[in-house]
Amino acid sequence: MIPTDGFARYSNEQQRLSFLYPEEWNIQEEEGAIHLVHPEAFAWVTMLRIWEDSDPEAALQSVEEHLAQEYHDFAVTSRTQVMVNGIDAWRVDAQSTSTEGINLIHNVLILYESGFARALVVCAMLEDQHVALSPIVEQVFDSITLLDH
């Protein structure tokens, strides 16, 4: 865990999500989603709530299929059950190549409670920036809170 100096808390009542983010990163709200973007676009994170009752594993499979269609050579490198700020989650780590030929690292989280998916977090970052940016992204992940509690 890295120190949270230079981080601010973001809360979105419509999406019922809250998280810490680096102050220099940009937040873009879109109906149904929150985008967190590195100032030089080396990494980006999209978060959204899942409102329909859906199976977490089925939701994860759907996201993986979508990413496989969007990116070349999309390949899952690990799939694990984790805890995110006290919330059960499925985590997928993957890699791909963008349409421009840039190698990317992906992280996908499906947060779930009572057997139902409650939030989706999708991150992509440039592979050559992974070592520098991964601890920052992990800090964002670890701070995610669902506001219905």
pLDDT, one tens digit per residue, over 19-71 is 999 999 999 999 889 999 999 999 999 999 998 899 999 999 999 999 999 99
7 within a domain of the structure (yes/no): no
105 within a domain of the structure (yes/no): yes
Q: What is the CATH number of the domain that holds 97?
A: 3.40.1000.10
Write b or e for each residue in 44-79: b if 16 or more Cβ atoms lie within 10 A of its Cβ, otherwise e.
bbbbbbbeeebebeebbeebbeebeeebeebeeeee
What pLDDT, on a 0 to 100 scale, did the predictor assign at position 32?
86
Give the chain's domain count: 1
What's the whole-model pTM score? 0.92
Domain that holds residue 71: 21-146
Task: At 63, list the tokens.
Answer: 């996201």
How far is Cα 48 from Cα 35, in angstroms, rounded to an integer? 9
Whether residue 1 is predicted with pLDDT greater than 60 in this model: the reply is no
Mapped onto helix, strand or coil, the DSSP state of residue 109 is strand
3 within a domain of the structure (yes/no): no
10 within a domain of the structure (yes/no): no
Q: 8 has which bridge partners? A: 21
Residue 2: what are its φ and ψ, rounded to 5°?
-95, 160
4 within a domain of the structure (yes/no): no
* Average pLDDT for 89-112: 95
